[in-house]
Amino acid sequence: MDGMHYEGIIIRPPSEADSIILQVTVGCSHNKCTFCGTYKGVRFRIKDQAVIDRDIAYAARNFPFLRRVFLTDGDALILPQARLVEILEKIRRSLPWVQRVGLYGNAKSILRKTPQELEALRDLGLGIVYLGVESGDPETLKAIKKGVSRERLLEAGRRVREAGLKLSVTVLLGIAGRDRSFDHAEATGSLLTAMDPHYVGALTLMVLPNTELGEKVRRGEFPVLSPRELLQELRHMLAHTHMSRGLFLSNHASNYLPLKVKMPADKDKALGVIDAALKNQVPLKPEWMRAL
């Protein structure tokens, strides 16, 4: 069959919309987060090199105009170093016009790589690692079964940056429920401050019925925050985030109030926009326009 070979649901960050999507693993190596329904029932595995090679050859014939490659699925960085090196070398040989390769990495897979290994991947074209942080609040991380501590997340983020790679992290508004909303916001802001990533994407929780969290919501055990409560949480999180540079974004399809904040210069202006939205002076995105 002609075309790229994909299995299951393929997800990618919004910023990789114009990238060649190369699937190198199927599923997610952790796959226990209570809110995520993407890889339910999918057993994690690495794809055959022959299939990956065919996809690279197809991309070489058909996508000479695309300058970036994104490796999926949920945690491509978990690949053994030798396999990743081989894939990056083939991309460089077959797609010499590609300027950047990106992938998802979780804290465990990042910390399994030595600083020297990450630098070697950087030298072969890896340019950005996307890390799902979700929260900086230890209690929330435990509740959502993230499988990693705040300290390990910070260590992983720093290791990516110290290897000379761009670090893009996602955090989740509404994931802590109502009682811990401000604890989650404050702790996440302080973690982002310590991590100092190049990009932060603040997504809004979308409850999926096929997840553990979806079950809790159905049973009335987890309160879904209102748009106003989510805005208050976003304001509190941004107020406690002190990045030395980079972008703080809430422009994902799931968000009620799209923001693109150049840090630290635009922060006060952005807080003012959120305050105006809280006073109903700025319209929010209607529910039907929100998506994952």
**What is this structure's pTM?**
0.93
What is the C-alpha separation between 271 and 269, in angstroms, rounded?
5
- Cα 231 → chain centroid: 20
Domain positions in the chain are 14-287
Closest CA to 249 of 170, 194, 182: 170
- Band the pLDDT of 255: cuts 50, 70, 90: confident
The architecture (CATH level 2) of 14-287 comes to Alpha-Beta Barrel (3.20)
Closest CA to 10 of 48, 39, 53, 36: 39
- Band the pLDDT of 144: cuts 50, 70, 90: very high
Q: Examine the pLDDT at 258 and tell me if it is beyond 70.
A: yes
Closest CA to 154 of 136, 170, 176: 136
pLDDT at 278: 93
Scanning the structure block, which residue is given the tokens 């393929």? 10
Mean pLDDT of the chain: 92
Q: What is the largest CA-CA distance in the chain?
A: 57
Q: Examine the pLDDT at 49 and tell me if it is beyond 70.
A: yes
User: Helix, strand, or coil here: 40?
Assistant: coil
Q: Examine the pLDDT at 292 and tell me if it is beyond 70.
A: no
Q: Examine the pLDDT at 110 and tell me if it is beyond 80.
A: yes
Q: Examine the pLDDT at 101 and tell me if it is beyond 90.
A: yes
Alpha helix (H) ranges present in the chain? Answer: 49-62, 81-94, 107-112, 115-123, 138-143, 150-162, 181-195, 212-218, 227-239, 267-278
Count other Cβ atoms within 10 Å, centred on residue 200.
26
pLDDT at 99: 97
Gyration radius of the chain over CA positions: 19
Mean pLDDT on 6-31: 88
What is the C-alpha separation between 248 and 236, in angstroms, rounded?
13
- Please write the tens of the pLDDT for every residue from 179-237: 999 999 999 999 999 999 999 999 999 888 888 999 999 999 999 999 999 999 999 99
What is the C-alpha separation between 167 and 257, in angstroms, rounded?
24
What is the C-alpha separation between 289 and 12, in angstroms, rounded?
19
What is the C-alpha separation between 82 and 120, in angstroms, rounded?
11
- Please write the tens of the pLDDT for every residue from 53-72: 999 999 999 999 999 999 99
End-to-end CA distance of the chain: 30
Helices 181-195 + 227-239 axis angle, to 10? 40
Per DSSP, 11 falls in state -
Higher pLDDT, 228 or 290: 228
Task: Tell me if 63 sits within 8 A of 20, measured CB to CB.
Answer: yes
